[in-house]
């Protein structure tokens, strides 16, 4: 496969070389001007900056190549298959067999049985015991108490008193004209004071005055005085007295009784006894067995076959040169 790829690459290089030679031969022709060859210099790229001398095109071309092809053929093979086959076999089964057999069986029988038991009975018995009694007894007991006694003490104190003092007061009294004096034209209704007739009047007034004086008063104070005396008080005392009282006691007493007891008794009886006996039996089961079988199958293989492939080959085509400006050619 690598050789084929290298051959295709060499062919493409040869085609490019031929195209370059054709382009060179085409460039030797006339530039298109009617002036002599000496007047037509070769084209210069400076005349047209976007001018390209060649154009690359792609041409489809058939190239010999190989490609893989899957080929099938019939082949005889031996394969293993599994088949279900019936197979006889033997197995052992334990079967139950019932037989009569004398065995000892435990049975329970109710029997009366005498027995003794103890009962606690109460008995009343007279007994001398010491009993506490409460007695009220009168006893002299010293008694102390405290008494508050008032005590008077003469003490000098300042006392404030209000005293009424006579005081002479003077004040000016205006003069009012008498009724019908004629000062107002004899109308008798004007009581305006007269300016020239004012008088000074003196009179005595009792005014309250606070006076402080020293006096002696009795101040009472209380003093605590202790006093003692003996008083007769009744006291409750406990006295133990011996008395005969009935006392209840529990005394154990033995008694006889009879009870029913369940007693086991072994008795021989015929019973059905089940025993298991192994028995051999035949059976048929299905077993999967491998079997060799011949079969014809399709076997596939990959082979390389010569063929033609279409590839795209680049071809360089020269572009015609532009006409340069001719100086003195025409």
Q: DSSP letter string over 57-75? A: EEEEEEEEEEEEEEEEEEE
Does residue 310 fall inside a structural domain? no
Judge whether residue 114 has pLDDT over 90. Answer: yes
Residues 326, 43 contacting (CB under 8 angstroms): no
What's the confidence (pLDDT) of residue 279?
A: 92
DSSP reduced 3-state for 324: coil
What is the helix (H) or strand (E) element at residue 25, kind and residue range? helix 2-27
Distance in angstroms (rounded) separating the CA atoms of residues 37 and 320: 17
Give just the sign of the alpha carbon dihedral 23, 24, 28, 33.
positive
> Is there a domain that residue 242 lies in?
yes
**Among the ranges given (105-119, 188-202, 244-258), the one the predictor scored with the smallest mean pLDDT:** 188-202
Question: What's the average model confidence in pLDDT over 16-25?
Answer: 44
The count of other CB atoms within 10 Å of the CB of residue 313 is 15
> Does pLDDT of 280 surpass 90?
yes
Give 316's strand partners: 56
Residue 158 forms part of a structural domain:
yes
Question: What's the domain count of the chain?
Answer: 1
> What average pLDDT does the structure give for the chain?
78
For residues 121-140, give the mean pLDDT: 88
Q: Is 185 left (phi over 0), alpha (psi -120 to 50) or beta?
A: left
Q: Would 330 be classed as within a structural domain?
A: no
Q: Which of 12-26, 78-92, 205-219 has the highest mean pLDDT?
A: 78-92
pLDDT at 181 over 70: no
Instruction: Identify the burial level of 286 via C-beta atoms within 10 angstroms of its C-beta, where 0-12 means exposed, 13-18 middle and 19 or more buried.
Output: exposed
**231 has a pLDDT exceeding 70:** yes
Going by pLDDT thresholds of 50, 70 and 90, the confidence category of residue 309 is confident
The two most distant CA atoms of the chain are separated, in Å, by 186
34 pLDDT above the threshold of 50: no
Question: What is the per-residue pLDDT for 88?
Answer: 93
Cα of 226 vs its chain's centroid, Å: 79
pLDDT of residue 65: 86
| 234: containing domain | 95-162+199-277
Is 221 domain-assigned? yes
Task: Answer whether residue 284 is part of any domain.
Answer: no
Q: Do residues 186 and 179 touch, judged by C-beta distance below 8 A?
A: no
Does pLDDT of 273 surpass 60?
yes
Please report, rounded to a whole number, the percentage of residues in the chain having pLDDT higher than 90.
15
Specify the pTM.
0.24
Helix (H, G, I), strand (E, B) or coil at 317: strand
Closest C-alpha to 66, from 130, 10, 22, 2: 2
pLDDT band at residue 325 under the 50/70/90 scheme: low
User: What confidence score (pLDDT) does residue 8 get?
Assistant: 46
Whether residue 57 lies inside any domain: the answer is no
Min mean pLDDT across 190-204, 215-229, 272-286 is at 190-204
Q: What is the mean pLDDT of residues 264-276?
A: 88
Specify the pLDDT at position 35.
43
């Amino acid at each position: 496969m690598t050789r084929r790829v290298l051959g295709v690459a060499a062919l493409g290089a040869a085609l490019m070389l031929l195209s370059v030679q054709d382009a060179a031969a085409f460039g030797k022709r006339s530039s298109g001007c009617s002036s002599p060859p000496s007047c037509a210099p070769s084209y210069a790229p400076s005349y047209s900056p976007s001018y390209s001398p060649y154009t690359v095109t792609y041409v489809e071309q058939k190239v010999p190549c190989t490609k893989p092809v899957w080929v099938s053929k019939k082949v005889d093979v031996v394969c293993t298959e599994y088949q279900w086959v019936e197979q006889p076999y033997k197995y052992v089964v334990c079967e139950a067999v019932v037989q009569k057999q004398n065995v000892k069986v435990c049975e329970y029988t109710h029997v009366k049985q005498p027995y003794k038991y103890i009962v606690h009975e109460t008995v009343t018995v007279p007994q001398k015991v010491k009993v506490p009694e409460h007695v009220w007894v009168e006893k002299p007991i010293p008694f102390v108490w405290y008494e508050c006694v008032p005590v008077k003490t003469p003490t000098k104190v300042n006392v404030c008193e209000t005293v009424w003092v006579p005081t002479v007061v003077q004040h000016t009294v205006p003069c009012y004209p008498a009724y019908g004096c004629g000062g107002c034209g004899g109308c008798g209704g004007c009581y305006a004071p007269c300016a020239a007739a004012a008088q000074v009047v003196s009179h005595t007034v009792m005014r309250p005055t606070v006076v402080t004086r020293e006096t002696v008063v009795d101040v009472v104070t209380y003093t605590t005085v202790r006093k003692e005396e003996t008083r007769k008080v009744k006291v409750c005392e406990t006295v133990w007295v011996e008395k005969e009282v009935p006392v209840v006691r529990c005394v154990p007493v033995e008694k006889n009784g009879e009870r029913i007891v369940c007693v086991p008794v072994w008795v021989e009886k015929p019973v059905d006894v089940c025993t298991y006996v192994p028995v051999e039996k035949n059976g048929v089961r299905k077993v999967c067995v491998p079997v060799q079988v011949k079969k014809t199958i399709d076997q596939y293989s990959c082979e390389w076959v010569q063929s033609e492939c279409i590839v795209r080959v680049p071809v360089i085509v020269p572009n015609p040169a532009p006409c340069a400006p001719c100086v003195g050619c025409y």
